[in-house]
Chains A and B, each alone.
Chain A
Amino acid sequence: MCQAAIEAGCRFFAGYPITPQNEVPEYMSSHLPEAGGIFIQAESELAAINMIFGASAAGVRCMTSSSSPGVSLKQEGISYIAAAELPCVIANMQRGGPGLGNIRASQGDYFQAVKGGGHGDYRIIVLAPSTLPEIYELTMAAFDYADHYRNPVLILGDGILGQMAEPIELKPYKPVVELPEKDYILDGCKGREPRIVKTLLLRPAEALVEFNEYLKVKYARIESELKLCEQYLTEDAELVVAAYGITARIAIDAIDAAREKGLKVGLIRPITLWPFPNEAFKEVVGRAKKFLVVEMSNGQFVDDVKLAIDCSRPVEFLGTGGGWYPTPEKIFEKIEAVYK
């Protein structure tokens, strides 16, 4: 993730230590300055995200990373950054919650990531990689989406992804979308009119209504343009498993085992959680008799799956909360039990 960020031109990182993502600031603290960038260990996640607010307005590609309790603190800043339409990349290597929880892997922050988290009507792009090579690729792309849409992008990982080792094939960075010129940067008004970055819209009374209307259109555009999703053996699947991130990877083992037994099971793995790849679900809903949602929480992502298919098929659920992951055996058992 760090290597990808640096290759994609990230030149500012601010963060605060929290397990299980300490490897990120530790790596950045030495490698980012070598690449001519700035690393700051902030006094809190609040300070870190507000440094990102400043860094983005100053015009550089910037990133912060944390894990669940720290990401809660960042929500204030994320709302401001979304409101100011500034690009940035935020990583959340989720751990068990609520509260201080534990330091094991979890997907309990789905609602916070996808439905808001901070105050106000805003959206952030949420990317959910399931392997290290995918983290590498999506981190690079995250900076591009952030710049392209002038919007925060969240990489939603978990404690397993955050601590795992896997070989990666390095690829030279190439933008995946067009990168507009940054005409909002604050760097002193020499030769131009002064610029203001602000989020307060008091007057006239309709100003904020109009701005929200504008954001609505922008978010609709993102929804129409950016949807990433992987399908696995869904062509003939009668049972479609839905899972994202590391859970999808575990589910694939269970699906392979089920196929060996002749069960027609497939997988839809959303890669963008917002925008949610509804179309992929609508596409298979004609063939699939049932869905099974697997996630490392006691039921968050499952809501979006039900919405995507308008509750037109039964949606079974296998969830584990509190920082625990479902084993391939558990998922296989559940597949057998619900496959009828």
Chain B
Amino acid sequence: MKFKKPESLYDRNTHYCPGCGHGIVHRIIGEVIDELGIREETIGTAPVGCAVLLYDYFNFDVIECAHGRPPAVATAMKRIHPDKIVFTYQGDGDLAAIGTAEMIHAANRGENFTTIFVNNAIYGMTGGQMAPTTLVGQRTTTTQKGRDLIKQGPPLKVCELLSSLDGVAYLERVAVSTAKDSMKAKKAIKKAFQNQIDGKGYSLVEVLSMCPTDWKLSPAQAVGFVNDEMKKVFKPGVYKDTDVK
């Protein structure tokens, strides 16, 4: 195992809380972009959410977007620079609440960019409110008795939702809660970028990720929450792959 810092990441400490999954996802993206040799061709988008400052860590061009709008911004950037590599990095509030329309329509148009969707089942940046992906029964600052199936509905399953769209090339749900999961996540993310290089169309990788601070759990307990609770509702796996006929 090598521990060299990828060139696509700056040598800096991040602002993420201990046990947060964003740092792991950044690291995987950095490694993938290095391995594909596309750092100088890449344009990333920053979401509104805990990852808004990702341009402080990634060593390539980045545009910071309004909350939920990265798919619209990425659509224009990729259409104008079809030979560049464009990706969105979005949280569950960004992608599955305020930006649902932008996400679905970019996916359905089959825009040839890549989305890394970090699902931590909560609004991290604003201090732990309910997300569209919050589990039934999960306590948040706006569901203090736990998410109520009747009042707030069930969690939104993005991969399942998008799998019905003909425009989508590839959908996979992974996690970064164990080393084994992270290896799988890396494989999926690499494929999602490779698809773009090959012009296959819209690829999205949903990453189940930890938020110990807002879940009010220790980092170790947070890993347990992903493995024991989240994976039950959000089943990891490939939801669509146009390569597999």
Residues of A within 8 A of B (CB): 11-12, 14, 38, 40, 42-44, 46-48, 50-55, 57-60, 62, 76-77, 80, 186-191, 194-200
A186 to B78, CA, bound (A): 11
Cross-interface CB contact of A199 among B64, B84, B105, cutoff 8 Å = B64
Chain B residue numbers with a CB within 8 Å of A59 are 80
A186 to B46, CA, bound (A): 13
Task: Judge whether A196 and B64 touch: CB under 8 Å.
Answer: yes
A188 to B63, CA, bound (A): 11
Chain B residue numbers with a CB within 8 Å of A187 are 43, 61, 81, 84
Task: Judge whether A196 and B76 touch: CB under 8 Å.
Answer: no
Task: Judge whether B80 and A38 touch: CB under 8 Å.
Answer: yes
Task: Judge whether B105 and A47 touch: CB under 8 Å.
Answer: yes
Cross-interface CB contact of A60 among B60, B72, B80, cutoff 8 Å = B80
A38 to B104, CA, bound (A): 20
Task: Judge whether B102 and A47 touch: CB under 8 Å.
Answer: yes
From B34-42, B115-123, B192-200, give the one contacting chain A.
B34-42
Task: Judge whether A43 and B102 touch: CB under 8 Å.
Answer: yes
A198 to B42, CA, bound (A): 17
Task: Judge whether A188 and B73 touch: CB under 8 Å.
Answer: no
Task: Judge whether B43 and A186 touch: CB under 8 Å.
Answer: yes
A38 to B55, CA, bound (A): 28
Interface flag for B74 (CB, 8 Å): yes
The answer to whether A186 and B66 touch (CB under 8 A), given A47-B102, A51-B73, A58-B80, is no
Chain B residue numbers with a CB within 8 Å of A47 are 69, 72, 101-102, 105
The answer to whether A188 and B105 touch (CB under 8 A), given A46-B69, A80-B66, is no
Chain A residue numbers with a CB within 8 Å of B64 are 196-200
The prevalent SS among residues of A at the interface is mixed
A189 to B101, CA, bound (A): 30
Q: Which B38-92 residues have C-beta < 8 A from chain A?
A: 39-43, 46, 52-53, 55, 58-66, 69, 72-77, 79-81, 84-85
The answer to whether A197 and B63 touch (CB under 8 A), given A57-B77, A186-B77, is yes
Chain B residue numbers with a CB within 8 Å of A42 are 72, 105
A327 to B40, CA, bound (A): 60
Chain B residue numbers with a CB within 8 Å of A51 are 72-73, 75-76
Chain B residue numbers with a CB within 8 Å of A80 are 65-66
> Which residue in chain A gives the minimum CB-CB distance to B39?
A189
The answer to whether A54 and B77 touch (CB under 8 A), given A42-B72, A197-B64, is yes
> Which residue in chain B gives the minimum CB-CB distance to A48?
B72
A80 to B64, CA, bound (A): 10
